[in-house]
Structure 1
Amino acid sequence: MSGAHPDLIVVNAQVHTDGPGITSVAVTDGRISALSREPLPAGPRTEVVDAGGATLLPGFTDAHVHPLAAGAQLLTCDLARLPHSPDRYRETIRAYAEAHPDQEWISGNGWYGDTFPGGLPDRRFLDEIVPDRPAVFFSHDGHGVWVNSRALERAGIDDRTPDPANGRINRDADGVATGVLVERAGDLVSDLLPPLTEAFLERAFLAAQRHLHAVGVTGWQDACLGPLFGMPDPLPLYRRLAADGRLTARVVGALWWEAGDGLAQLDSIEERRATSTIGRFRATTVKVMQDGVCENCTGAMLAPYSGGGHHGTASGLSFIDPAELAGICRELDGRGFQIHLHAVGDRAVRECLDALEAAHREGDLRHQIAHLDVVDPADVPRFAELGVIANIQALWARRDKEIVERKLPLLGPEREPMHFPFGALHRAGARLAMGSDWPVTDPNPLWAIHTAATRLGVPEDPHSVGEGVFTEPLEARQAIDFRVALDAYTAGSAYANHAEHELGSIKPGHKADLALLDRPILDGGAGATAARTVLTLVDGRPVHDAR
């Protein structure tokens, strides 16, 4: 430490760092200036924070999140925080519609399929609540849109409307459209929603940023800089907030690759990158979506879904032809972009690995594949061999009702052992990064770390529902050690953002992006999920303070 007194010292802390027994951390000019096993000396203007034995962590980096959509969910008709109850959905939607009589469309987010008999909602449910206006609700995972009859009429969708490319209009046994639109079929309605004002978008984003800081997140990778979840492209908003200082997190943006536009979009993506390094923000990654999700049988599988799949998608959908995907990856890699691939099914994972292997891989671009619901055992060692980051969303890896009743029957017993194979990937030497995919699931890193280490649900999470969710691990062999999971959400995600030299660990010289909890958690006990973040620092300055 230099001769100057530190600006801040945290004492009596359980510090998560390489040195054993560290209890005190000093911050000077926004960086960690000293670590000690004893209280460090303070100057007359030094702020001293007594942790009282609680844990001090590196600030979490969420490796895969959608803050604008999440913030909009917080400000509109939010079903995501409700119990899985049709009555509660009905009450909440009705109250929202009555409170907003002047809105042309009633919209919201966050529904779960297992709330409804048969696993999916129906337009008639919404028709009863909102009969006079179009209504549209995005599912919690963003892969389904639930609409009423008025919305179908506005979009010109009837029972004879053909499915669009990479999408599906769900129909009942009589061929009648049910009001659930899967994948890109949702665009037929969401594209008609009135544009959101800049003022609303700013409020939504800043609400999401506050929430992320409140759970200890100091940085993230925005997994889609493009239209998503009915939201406009957030890139102009990031540029504005980064320029005026209101972006208090460190963000890497993943520019959206439009599957139907091919290589013609490369020049536009290059231009977007070139004009988007501002303050704490840079857009140096490209997001490529290769398949959908298993629950609606659009996740791309090597073998058919059990029961043959649904509506002609027996083995799911590859949104981009594998040969074309390899060409895309070669071009992006050659231009120095990190590639952030969405792959849920084992076939999509293999297609992504094949494409990255075929790319001319110069430099240290740190390509990654996110989600990895199912990975074929033959492909597990390829992550380490190819240097591909496994970007995992661990809160999903539990026996909740939706997984047990909707997903596992589609996978079948032969694929279940490789469901979210975090343990296998770690044992094979894969580098792990962790993210929430919020608003798909809650952004609390401590919840995800608990589930990664136990393969059980979180008592505080309203979506941990179902028999055995707290007692019966989902493929216990695929659990990872608590400390491994913690490092994935800190050092691993910082590495994915090319920032491990100054973020993701508590070391002298690193930026003082820190999260102080209200209790010790490093023993990995069950009480960690109830811990609260009481102080979050970015550059040594509070961005969340609940002391």
Structure 2
Amino acid sequence: MHECAGPGISGEDDFTGLLRLAAEEAGPRVVGYWAQQGEEGVARAKELGAIGAAGDLFVDGALGSHTACLHEPYADSGHTGNAYLDAAAVAAHVVACTEAGVQAGFHAIGDAAVTSVVEGIRAASEKVGLARVRAARHRVEHAEMLTPETIAAFAELGLTASVQPAFDALWGGDDGMYVQRLGAERARTLNPYAALLRTGVPLAFGSDSPVTPLDPWGTVRAAAFHQTLEHRVSVRAAFTAHTRGGWRAIGRDDAGILVPGAPADYAVWRAADLVVQAPDDRVARWSTDPRSGTPGLPDLTPGAELPVCLRTVVFGQPVFVRPDE
């Protein structure tokens, strides 16, 4: 679990209490981020046990409340939202984080907010060096309104897109909240997962709980059956983004897979059928021919029953066993 805390959304006692509870009790691993700006914020993040001065460091707000920062006004309002950090502030924070050897990260949803993040991180790379910025794996939370230019910049700067496919399931489509706020044309551009993958941008899927429920298979389904067809990815690509993706987002390339020597963190699920589900031109780099031996995954076609968790193991120790098993 990635805990995105900060002085503006939770508090130090809440954050350190969660990290302490995770260390003392059987349960999920918890990785903490502390969203506080600049050199002082970076130092405080380290003192509190966070791995980065990141998470919900707000560049803007949300589409539902008309506070995501846009280049053009909302379709149902006469303004462009709120900007809480500009490119200069982003650059200063990224420089401080990069020089301290920790991740920076920002909450950015609207296209103007994402542009500020890209411009700020590019300015930081000109000061500390592009290789150092890329090595730090800085991250952007949500990154919903992207353009071909900002997607290319994510790849150039080595940014991780920490995204929530359930947002599209809830608010996408022809008559969802996105269309109400942005109009149909702009709404169709949101959450372009296939374009991000084609460009080589690392994806880490999550829930943004409590905004959407903790529902991993539902999240994988939402990405594979995105309501905008061109943004869909294969089930396996979505599964990878929700397993290895979270680990890679914290700089761990050895986890999120079941191989000898990898951390023994896994769940056992009951599923009706296993299939290789890439029946169209969604992003996929493996064969769907049964003769290839590509491992199957649960059938996540909308309407199909989602898998049921039977057991969860962390650090090699069971932390959950379904009572009826």
TM-score by length of 1: 0.50
Match of 1:237 in 2: 17
Q: Equivalences for 1:97-246 in 2 at 5 Å?
A: 220-228=1-9, 233-242=13-22, 245-246=24-25
Question: Where in structure 2 are there 5+ consecutive unaligned residues?
Answer: 275-296
- Structure 2: which amino acid aligns with 1:267? E
Larger RCO, structures 1/2 (Cα 8 Å, 6+ apart): 1
Match of 1:284 in 2: 52
1:447 matched to 2:215? The reply is: no
My pick for the range that moved more, 348-357 or 361-370, is 361-370
Aligned mate of 1:424, from 187, 195, 202: 195
Over 3 Å counting, the alpha-carbon distance change for 1:532 and 1:389 in structure 2 is same
Match of 1:254 in 2: 33
Over 3 Å counting, the alpha-carbon distance change for 1:539 and 1:285 in structure 2 is same
Over 3 Å counting, the alpha-carbon distance change for 1:275 and 1:325 in structure 2 is closer
Over 3 Å counting, the alpha-carbon distance change for 1:296 and 1:272 in structure 2 is closer
Q: Secondary structure at the match of 2:30?
A: strand
Please identify the structure whose Cα radius of gyration is greater. Answer: 1
CA distance in 2, matches of 1:355, 1:344: 16
Aligned mate of 1:270, from 43, 64, 78: 43
TM-score by length of 2: 0.82
Deviations 1:175-228 (A, max 9, x none): xxxxxxxxxxxxxxxxxxxxxxxxxxxxxxxxxxxxxxxxxxxxx211124452
Cα deviation, residue 325, structure 1: 2.0
Q: Secondary structure at the match of 1:480?
A: coil
Q: Secondary structure at the match of 1:289?
A: coil
Q: Does structure 2 retain, via aligned residues, the 8 Å contact 1:322–1:351?
A: yes
Question: Where in structure 1 are there 5+ consecutive unaligned residues?
Answer: 1-219, 277-281, 456-473
Over 3 Å counting, the alpha-carbon distance change for 1:401 and 1:251 in structure 2 is closer
Over 3 Å counting, the alpha-carbon distance change for 1:249 and 1:401 in structure 2 is closer
Aligned mate of 1:524, from 291, 299, 310: 299
Over 3 Å counting, the alpha-carbon distance change for 1:289 and 1:518 in structure 2 is same
Match of 2:146 in 1: 375
Match of 1:319 in 2: 84
Q: Does structure 2 retain, via aligned residues, the 8 Å contact 1:450–1:529?
A: no
1:305 matched to 2:84? The reply is: no
1:515 matched to 2:267? The reply is: yes
Q: Secondary structure at the match of 2:136?
A: coil
CA distance in 2, matches of 1:347, 1:268: 24
Q: Does structure 2 retain, via aligned residues, the 8 Å contact 1:366–1:496?
A: yes
Q: Does structure 2 retain, via aligned residues, the 8 Å contact 1:286–1:337?
A: no
Match of 1:505 in 2: 257
- The structure with more strand, counted as a fraction of residues: 1
Q: Does structure 2 retain, via aligned residues, the 8 Å contact 1:516–1:536?
A: yes
CA distance in 1, matches of 2:299, 2:198: 20
Over 3 Å counting, the alpha-carbon distance change for 1:529 and 1:419 in structure 2 is farther
Deviations 1:20-51 (A, max 9, x none): xxxxxxxxxxxxxxxxxxxxxxxxxxxxxxxx
- Structure 1: which amino acid aligns with 2:209? W
Total equivalences in the alignment: 292
Q: Does structure 1 retain, via aligned residues, the 8 Å contact 2:19–2:30?
A: no
Over 3 Å counting, the alpha-carbon distance change for 1:393 and 1:268 in structure 2 is closer
Over 3 Å counting, the alpha-carbon distance change for 1:343 and 1:233 in structure 2 is farther
Match of 1:350 in 2: 115
Q: Does structure 2 retain, via aligned residues, the 8 Å contact 1:368–1:388?
A: yes
CA distance in 2, matches of 1:514, 1:454: 25
Q: Does structure 1 retain, via aligned residues, the 8 Å contact 2:42–2:53?
A: no
Q: Does structure 1 retain, via aligned residues, the 8 Å contact 2:76–2:182?
A: no
Deviations 1:54-96 (A, max 9, x none): xxxxxxxxxxxxxxxxxxxxxxxxxxxxxxxxxxxxxxxxxxx
- Structure 2: which amino acid aligns with 1:542? P
Over 3 Å counting, the alpha-carbon distance change for 1:395 and 1:275 in structure 2 is closer
Cα deviation, residue 246, structure 1: 1.4
- Structure 1: which amino acid aligns with 2:119? D
Q: Does structure 1 retain, via aligned residues, the 8 Å contact 2:54–2:103?
A: yes
Cα deviation, residue 331, structure 1: 1.6
Q: Does structure 2 retain, via aligned residues, the 8 Å contact 1:368–1:391?
A: yes
Cα deviation, residue 524, structure 1: 3.5
- Structure 2: which amino acid aligns with 1:238? L
Cα deviation, residue 414, structure 1: 2.7
CA distance in 2, matches of 1:320, 1:428: 27
Q: Does structure 1 retain, via aligned residues, the 8 Å contact 2:268–2:312?
A: yes
CA distance in 2, matches of 1:339, 1:447: 29
Q: Does structure 2 retain, via aligned residues, the 8 Å contact 1:252–1:284?
A: no
1:340 matched to 2:105? The reply is: yes
Q: Secondary structure at the match of 2:207?
A: coil
CA distance in 2, matches of 1:295, 1:403: 16
Q: Does structure 1 retain, via aligned residues, the 8 Å contact 2:269–2:307?
A: yes
Over 3 Å counting, the alpha-carbon distance change for 1:227 and 1:318 in structure 2 is closer
Cα deviation, residue 376, structure 1: 2.0
Cα deviation, residue 479, structure 1: 0.8
Cα deviation, residue 399, structure 1: 6.0
CA distance in 1, matches of 2:196, 2:98: 24
Deviations 1:314-333 (A, max 9, x none): 11111012222222222222
Cα deviation, residue 489, structure 1: 0.6
Over 3 Å counting, the alpha-carbon distance change for 1:247 and 1:523 in structure 2 is closer
Aligned identity (percent) is 27
Cα deviation, residue 369, structure 1: 0.9
1:433 matched to 2:204? The reply is: yes
Aligned mate of 1:533, from 298, 306, 309: 309
Cα deviation, residue 400, structure 1: 5.0
Q: Give me the CA root mean square deviation.
A: 2.4
Q: Secondary structure at the match of 2:319?
A: strand
